[in-house]
Amino acid sequence: MEPGPSRAAERRRLQEAIAARTRRTSILAGVLGLALLFAGGIGVIVSPSNSLALIVVMSTGIVFLLVAFFLARNTIVGLPGKLRNN
């Protein structure tokens, strides 16, 4: 009979799953932020009369980009083999 997975292996697998979910969320937020930012910018050029609403759309895109960078920061800091002081 083969022994079951150890607690350390379960914790490592759980941490990897959480990191993967965080990366996916970060990528989704970044793509959505870029799309909103560029759509708002193009909209302001095409239709300047609606500029206030489109500036709000662009601001929302910037917020999504900040969220994406905040989520990615935690993932990047945790990468093995990377030194922060270099």
Residue 23: per-residue pLDDT: 87
Element (H, E) at 59: helix 51-77
Going by pLDDT thresholds of 50, 70 and 90, the confidence category of residue 11 is: confident
pLDDT mean across residues, the chain? 83
| Domain residue ranges of the chain, discontinuous segments joined by + | 31-77
| pLDDT tens-digit map of 14-44 | 888 888 888 899 999 999 999 999 999 999 9
Burial classification of residue 82, based on how many CB atoms lie within 10 Å of its CB (0-12 exposed, 13-18 middle, 19 or more buried)? exposed
